[in-house]
Amino acid sequence: MTATLQTPPATARPVIAHVGVPGLRLVRSEFRKITTTNAWWLFGLASVFFTGFALFINMSEAAQHLERARDTAAVFKPGRGMSAAEVAAARAEFAQLHDLPLQAVNAAGNIFTSGQFFGLLLVMLLGALVITNEFQYQTATATFLTTPRRTQVVFGKLLAVLGLGFVFWLVARVLSLTAGLIFFDNLGLTNSLGEWPVQRALIFNLVAYLLWALLGFGLGTLINSQIGAVVTAMIIYLGGFVGAIGVFSLIREYLIHEDWVLTSAVMMPSIASQVMVSPEKLYPEAAAWWVGVLVLTGWSLVAGAIGIVLNRRRDIA
């Protein structure tokens, strides 16, 4: 072989240290994957924008409600021709609308969880992208060469997705708490942060962020096609609520005339989520909040588990 003339002299092989905590290496890698593309700031910007927009709407609405509640001059006047029962209902509603502490708590719950609707959609889509990006950009080869045990890869991504859900929740909440505290301070009202209904709203807001991120991730694991996973996620989230209530009402009306039909609508993820975050019953037949948590977790687990089994057998070509 004449090539030895051109070959540089053999150098000593480099000593490459082992770094990182074994269980967390993959999580770290996933975080770097997210933060080294445009996705994080595009999604972050969208999240900040929608939170701001929702804050504006919620605070305008709250300002009106609080002004009405503070109007001590208002007097209840029953409408003409009302029955005794109707008068009683109208009186109760009037009392609620003019109950300042109640209105303040409701306003706080809304303002402090502002941006939840789009925030949840965004973390779900991000959860789906974390896994479908690997197939979209053919990085699955490099990823699975580095970590041939594919289930480990999925769990690394899972932890990263939960972390992302938490970060998005935190940013939205820091914004809404700052704006909300200024709002209540200006009105000279309590911010109600000491009240359980408000604390509950914040906690379940976090749970919802985590569970929707998880659901998006489960979908991405199951449907590796990026466009397929994103469209499915959008349909489940946006179409789910109105569609599901409609379908279950029709079944109740025409097929099975039982109230449990309406209760079982909680099996749809979007309804489960609403059932979970609502302090009061979403509708009279609605299931308890914890059923919502179980349903959302259940869907994520089912989609994720099927996805993992498929991924273990899948040919990466």
Partner 1 sequence: MADDGIAVSGLTKVYKNVRAVDDLSFTVSPGRVTGFLGPNGAGKTTTLRMVLNLVRPTAGTATIGGRRYADLTDPIRKVGALLEASGAHRGRTGRNHLRMLCDAAGIPVSRADDVLSTVGLTPAANRKFKGYSLGMRQRLGIAAALLGDPDVLVLDEPANGLDPEGIRWMRDLLKSLADEGRTVLVSSHLLTEMELLADDVVIIAAGKLVRQGTVAEILASAGAAQMLVRTPRPEALVAELGAGVTATPAEGGALRIVGADGPTIGAAALRVGAEIHELTAERRDLENVFLQLTAGKADIR
List contacts with partner 1 (CB under 8 A). Answer: 1, 3-4, 6-8, 10, 13-14, 16-20, 22, 25-26, 28-29, 32-33, 36-38, 133, 137-139, 141-149, 156, 313, 315-317
Nearest approach, Cβ of residue 35 and partner 1 (Å): 9
Residue 279 and residue 125 in contact, taking contact as beta carbons nearer than 8 Å: no
Residue 278 three-state SS: coil
Residue 174 and residue 85 in contact, taking contact as beta carbons nearer than 8 Å: no
Distances, alpha carbon 222 to alpha carbons 11, 162, 180, 233, in Å: 47, 18, 39, 12
Question: Which two structure tokens, joined as six digits, stand for 61?
Answer: 């609405």
SS (H, E, C) 134-191: HHHCCCHHHHHHHCCCHHHHHHHHHHHHHHHHHHHHHHHHHHHHHHHHHHHHHHCCCC
Nearest approach, Cβ of residue 199 and partner 1 (Å): 37
Residue 115 and residue 50 in contact, taking contact as beta carbons nearer than 8 Å: yes
Nearest approach, Cβ of residue 149 and partner 1 (Å): 7
The residue (of 20 and 246) whose beta carbon lies closer to partner 1 is 20
Crossing angle of the two packed helices 289-313 and 150-187, in degrees rounded to 10:
150
Residue 276 and residue 208 in contact, taking contact as beta carbons nearer than 8 Å: yes
Dihedral angle over CA of 298, 300, 305, 310, nearest 10:
140
How far apart (Å, rounded) are the C-alpha atoms in residues 49 and 78? 43
Nearest approach, Cβ of residue 316 and partner 1 (Å): 4
Nearest approach, Cβ of residue 3 and partner 1 (Å): 5
The residue (of 91 and 149) whose beta carbon lies closer to partner 1 is 149
How far apart (Å, rounded) are the C-alpha atoms in residues 209 and 282? 19
Nearest approach, Cβ of residue 166 and partner 1 (Å): 20
The residue (of 125 and 198) whose beta carbon lies closer to partner 1 is 125
The residue (of 22 and 79) whose beta carbon lies closer to partner 1 is 22
The residue (of 60 and 146) whose beta carbon lies closer to partner 1 is 146
The residue (of 80 and 313) whose beta carbon lies closer to partner 1 is 313
How far apart (Å, rounded) are the C-alpha atoms in residues 21 and 49? 36
Nearest approach, Cβ of residue 7 and partner 1 (Å): 4
The residue (of 35 and 178) whose beta carbon lies closer to partner 1 is 35
Nearest approach, Cβ of residue 182 and partner 1 (Å): 37
The residue (of 147 and 249) whose beta carbon lies closer to partner 1 is 147
What number of other Cβ atoms are within 10 A of residue 173's Cβ? Answer: 21
Q: Using alpha carbons only, what angle is made at residue 106 by residues 93 and 283, rounded to the nearest 5 degrees? A: 65
How far apart (Å, rounded) are the C-alpha atoms in residues 234 and 24? 31
The residue (of 157 and 173) whose beta carbon lies closer to partner 1 is 157
Nearest approach, Cβ of residue 147 and partner 1 (Å): 6
